[in-house]
A and B are shown apart, each in its own frame.
Chain A
Amino acid sequence: MAAYLVRRALLLALSLAVSSVALFVLLRVLPGDPANALLDVGATARQAAAARHELGTDLPLSQQFGGWLRDLARLDLGRSLVSSLPVTSEIAGRLGVTVPLTVLAFLLAALIAVPTGFLIALRRGTWYGTLLAGVSQLGLAVPVFWVGMLLVTVFALRLRWLPAGGFPAEDWAAPAAALTSLLLPVVTIALVMAASLTRYVHSAALDVLDSDYLRTARALGAPLRAALWRHGLRGVAAPVVPILAIELASTFLGAVVVENVFALPGLGSMLVRAFAQHDYPVIQGVLTLSTATVLTIGFVADTAQRLIDPRLRRTAAGTSA
C-alpha cells in the first residue's frame, strides 16, 4: 500500500503539472488577445502594446509560465482584467456558494441513487422497477439547466414557495436564507446527477445480486436484506467509488451551468462572465483550481477503491501491481 501511495501521489503530481502547463499553453496559443479586454474600441497600436506590456503577454511564453508558477506558489493567481481585484480573493469569495452547492447536490444525488439503483436491480421485471429505470433513463437525457428552468417556473414563479434566484447579500451570515436560495439549485443538479449515478449503482447491484457469494450467504440463512447490508454495499462500492470522482466533476459542471439559471454568485457565473469578457487570469484561475480538485479527488477515490478491494493490492511480498 505504501508503495502504491507513493506511486499514485507521484502520478497525481505529474498530472497536476501536465494539466497546469496544458491550461497555460492553451490559453496563450488560442487566438484572441487578452489585451483587448483592457482596451476601448478603436485603441491605437501603441495603447495595445502598452496593455500587453502591462499584462506581461509580450514576454516569451517560457518566461510567462515561470512567472505564473512563481506566483502560483504564493497562491497569487494574478488580477482580474475587468475588476482589477486579485483572482485568489475573487475565487475565495465565491467558494461559499459553489462548494456547498456542489457538495450538497452530490450528497443528495448519492442519497437518491444508491437506494434507487438497488431497488431497480431488486425489482427487475416488476412494473415499478421498470418505471424507476425509465425515469432514470429520462434523467440521463435532460439538460440540467432545463430542469432548473422547469423547477423555477413551478416552485418559484407559480407556487412562490422558494426564491427564483439570487443569494443573500449577508452570505452565510444569514444561514436560513442562504440555504433556501440553494435549495432549488441543489435539487436541480442532484436530480440529473442521480440519474447517471443510479445507472452505475444499478449495474453493480445486478452483479452483486447475481453473485454466488450472495447466494451462499442466503443459502446459509442470511435474510436478503442482511446479506445486502453485509456484502452488497461493499460489492457495489468497489466499482462505483472510482466513478464518483468523475461524477463529482460533472456535478461541478452542473453547478457552473445551474448557477447561471439561478443567478447565484458562484464560480460558475464568474467563469461564464470571464469567458464573455475574455478575462484570462480569472478563466485560468478557476480552471486550474477545478482541474486540480478533480484530479485530487480522483486520487482519493482510487485509494479508497484499493482499501475496499483487497484484490487490487498485493500483500506481504510488496509487489505493488
Chain B
Amino acid sequence: MRSRALVAGCVLLGGVVAIALVSALWTPYDPGDTSGGRLEPPGPEHWLGTDRLGRDLLTQLMIGARVALSIGAGAVALGGALGLLAGLAAGFAVRWLDDVMAVALDVLIAFPTLLLAMLVIAARRGSLLSAVTAIGLAMTAVVARPARQQVKRVLAQDYVTAARTSGTSWPGIVAGHVLPNIWPALAVNLALQLGRAVLAEAGLSYLGLGPPPPNASWGHMLREAQTTVLVAPGDVVAPGLLLVLLVIGANLVADGVREVADPLLRGRW
C-alpha cells in the first residue's frame, strides 16, 4: 500500500496548505502596506525583499498560496461535482440522450479550458468567485467524459446488470456499485485537475483576468514582476517556484493514488 509518490505529494501539498493557513492568521506585513522601499533585496526587514510598489514579497507569496488553493479547491469541488453528475446522468441515460451528451462533451473538450474561463470572466469581471466558477465550469467536461466511460463500464458488468434487473433502485446502484468502482480513477483525475486549475488561474491572472488585489495571486505577481526582472529576479523566481511545487504536489498525489489503487501501474504516470 505504500507509495513514495503519494507521500511526497502529500508533503508538498501539505506545505502549501500550511502556508495558506498561516497567512489567514498572520503575515509579516499588511498586504496593502507599501511602506518598504521599492524593489529592496532580501534583508532583516523584508526577508524576501519588496516588490516595485514597496510591498513585502513574503506577505504576497503567503496570500498567493491562499488564493491559489482556494481557487483550485473551489474549482475542483464545482467541476468535480458537476462532472460526476453529468457522467452519472450520461451513463444511466437512454441511448440517444447518452449519444447527445457524448457529442456535447467532445465539443466542450475541444474548447480550451482557459478560453472558456476567459469568456466567463470577461462577462463577470475578475474576482475570486468568478475565477472559481469559470475554471470549475471549464473543468466539468474534462471530469465528465472519463466518468461517463467508467460508469458505463461498471453498469455493463454482469453482477450490476443482475442487481438492476432484480430491482435495486438507481441510487442504490450508484452507492453500492458505481461509486466504489470509479472512485480511484475519479480521485486521480481530480488531483490532476487541482494542478491544472492552479495553472489555469495563474494564466488568467498573468493575462490580467484574475482577481484584483488584495486577493492577488502568484500569476498576478509574475505579471507585475516581468518588467523589473533584471533588478529583482527573485520576484519572478519565487512565485513561479511555489506554483510549480504546488502543481507537482498535486500530480504526485494523483500518481500515488493510482499506484495504490493499481500496483500494475507503478512507475507509470
Contact = CB atoms under 8 A, between A and B. Distances in A.
Interface of A: 11, 14-15, 18-19, 22, 26-27, 30-32, 124, 133, 137-138, 140-146, 149-150, 152-153, 157-158, 199, 202-203, 206, 245-246, 249-250, 252-253, 256-257, 260-261, 271-272, 275-276, 278, 283, 287, 290-291, 294-295, 298
A26 to B, nearest CB: 6
B240 A146 contact: yes
A278 B207 CA distance: 15
B206 A145 contact: yes
Interface in B203-248: 203, 206-209, 219, 222, 226, 229-230, 233, 236, 240, 243-244, 247-248
Contacts of B103: 11, 14-15, 18
A256 B212 CA distance: 21
A276 to B, nearest CB: 7
Contact of B119 (A19, A276, A287, A295): A287
Nearest to B245: A141
Contact of B244 (A26, A142, A145, A260): A142
B18 interface: no
B55 to A, nearest CB: 20
Contacts of B112: 249-250, 252-253, 290, 294
Contact of A18 (B107, B121, B269): B107
A153 B232 CA distance: 11
Given A140-B251, A202-B269, 13 more contacts: A15-B106, A18-B107, A30-B119, A140-B247, A141-B195, A141-B251, A142-B240, A146-B236, A153-B233, A250-B112, A252-B112, A291-B111, A294-B110
Interface residues of B, number: 42
Contact of A15 (B107, B209, B251): B107
A217 to B, nearest CB: 23
B contacts with A: majority SS? helix
Contacts of B222: 145-146, 149
A123 to B, nearest CB: 12
Contacts of A199: 269
Nearest to A206: B268
Contacts of A260: 206-207
A32 B243 contact: no
Interface in B180-219: 195, 199, 202-203, 206-209, 219
Nearest to A33: B123
Contact of B207 (A138, A203, A257, A298): A257
B240 A153 contact: no
A19 B110 contact: yes
Most-contacted residue by chain A among B103, B121, B226 (CB, 10 A) = B226
A49 to B, nearest CB: 21
Given A149-B236, A275-B118, A138 B107 contact: no
B124 interface: yes
- Top 4 closest pairs, chain A to chain B, by CB: A30-B123, A141-B247, A146-B240, A32-B123
Given A15-B103, A143-B206, A283-B119, A153 B269 contact: no
B77 interface: no
Most chain A C-beta atoms within 10 Å of own C-beta, residue among B112, B114, B118, B219: B112
